[in-house]
């Protein structure tokens, strides 16, 4: 019965556009990596990670009776679609993936309910160590940039998780294949990466997206042409070589208007236009003032005359 449920899950996931499916046992030991990272303050001011630590380490606190954790991958664009100056992280160039993937996860929930399962579903939105379970489920390994790297597919993907009370056949982990490569650590503009962990206090993505406090001067100087997020550690990864025949959901492609809007136009965009332009985008979450601040800091790090 559980083999049949797994086959149905795999088929439905492919039909919905997911590029990979893996299953890990819910009781898998996560070790002390996350707790140590938090104790060292590398989460910066993301206090919600501390609050959710017990649930992350014990999935039973998220879904009582959970037996399996399903991890799914969904591809996002590998190329920077911007024709105007100023980089926006690939994952944020189209529609908000949380909303896009929520309905697909609901469909998979229905499939598993038919086999008697109770589920909780998340896409980077709940207290689940998705990268850990993705690696445990054999979808790839955690690279030195802290991201899931998949052989032949690289790291440009979203992760979604389904906690289920069904005991589905589990997959086997694969070995780490980063070898002696340290390109991501060497290329990081703020030296935020070390042995598979990212220190958010130094990370440009954190400061341009999550941070609530003013950006430190040294981070601002390293920001370069980045308006929102940073993909440097992915751009230099050998596993992210250009791929042919990778399906990208059209909803995740950058609208033509955003491709050509200059930093000056974005900085002086009226608030009403900001809400219209970014209403369905992850960028909307940071608000117009934070975006303007990012642009001003980006311009200052390159040339005081850009804006």
Residue with tokens 């590998």: 78
Question: Residue 68 falls within a domain, yes or no?
Answer: yes
Neighbouring-strand partners of residue 69? 24, 163
pLDDT tens across 49-83, in order?
999 999 999 999 999 999 999 999 999 999 989 99
Query: Are residues 154 and 122 located together in one domain of the fold?
Result: yes
Q: Is the pLDDT of residue 40 over 70?
A: yes
pLDDT-derived band of residue 307, with 50, 70 and 90 as boundaries? very low
Query: Are residues 158 and 48 located together in one domain of the fold?
Result: yes
pLDDT-derived band of residue 306, with 50, 70 and 90 as boundaries? very low
Query: Are residues 117 and 266 located together in one domain of the fold?
Result: no
Question: Residue 45 falls within a domain, yes or no?
Answer: yes
Other beta carbons within 10 angstroms of residue 11's beta carbon come to: 12
The pTM of this model reads 0.94
Catalytic site includes residue 95: no
pLDDT-derived band of residue 303, with 50, 70 and 90 as boundaries? low
Q: Which helix H or strand E contains 221, and what residues bound it?
A: helix 217-222
Which candidate, 123, 126, 167, 158, places its Cα nearest to that of 139? 158
Record the tokens describing residue 301, joined without a space: 């790090």
Provide the CATH number for the domain around residue 29: 3.40.109
Q: Is the pLDDT of residue 151 over 80?
A: yes
Question: Residue 157 falls within a domain, yes or no?
Answer: yes
- Those residues with Cβ within 8 angstroms of residue 107's Cβ, 6 or more apart along the chain or in another chain: 12, 16
Question: Residue 230 falls within a domain, yes or no?
Answer: yes
Q: Is the pLDDT of residue 259 over 70?
A: yes
Record the tokens describing residue 268, joined without a space: 């002086």
Domain edge (last residue) among 105, 130, 164: 164
Rounded to an integer, what is the distance from CA 233 to the centroid of its chain? Answer: 13
Neighbouring-strand partners of residue 122? 161
- Residue 244 pLDDT: 72
Query: Are residues 101 and 200 located together in one domain of the fold?
Result: no
User: Could you give the CA distance from residue 48 to residue 259 in angstroms, rounded to a whole number?
Assistant: 33
Question: Residue 177 falls within a domain, yes or no?
Answer: no
List the catalytic residue out of 124, 218, 231, 273: 124
């Amino acid at each position: 019965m559980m083999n049949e449920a797994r086959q149905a899950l795999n088929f439905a996931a492919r039909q919905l556009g997911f590029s990979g499916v893996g299953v890990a046992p819910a009781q898998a030991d996560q070790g002390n990596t996350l707790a140590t990272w938090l104790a060292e303050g590398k989460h910066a001011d993301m206090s919600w990670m501390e609050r959710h630590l017990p649930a992350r380490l014990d999935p039973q606190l998220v879904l009582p009776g959970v037996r399996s954790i399903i991890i799914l991958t969904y591809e996002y664009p590998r190329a920077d679609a911007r024709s105007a100056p100023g980089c926006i992280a690939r994952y944020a160039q189209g529609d908000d993936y949380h909303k896009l993937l929520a309905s697909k996860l609901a469909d998979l929930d229905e499939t598993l309910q038919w086999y008697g399962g109770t589920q909780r579903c998340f896409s980077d939105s709940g207290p689940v160590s998705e990268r850990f379970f993705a690696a445990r489920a054999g979808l790839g390994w955690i690279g030195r940039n802290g991201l899931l790297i998949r052989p032949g597919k690289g790291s440009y993907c979203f992760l979604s998780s389904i906690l289920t009370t069904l005991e589905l056949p589990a997959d086997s982990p694969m070995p780490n294949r980063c070898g002696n490569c340290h390109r991501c650590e060497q290329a990081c503009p703020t030296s935020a990466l070390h042995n598979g962990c990212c220190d958010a206090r130094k990370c440009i993505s954190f400061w341009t997206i999550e941070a609530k406090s003013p950006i430190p001067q040294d981070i601002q100087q390293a920001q370069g042409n980045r308006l929102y997020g940073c993909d440097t550690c992915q751009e230099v990864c050998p596993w992210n070589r250009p791929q042919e025949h990778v399906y990208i959901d059209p909803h995740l492609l950058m609208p033509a208007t955003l491709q050509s809007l200059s930093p000056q136009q974005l900085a002086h965009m009226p608030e009403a236009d900001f809400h219209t332009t970014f209403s369905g985008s992850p960028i909307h979450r940071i608000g117009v003032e934070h975006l303007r601040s990012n642009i001003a800091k980006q311009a200052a790090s390159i040339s005081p005359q850009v804006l």
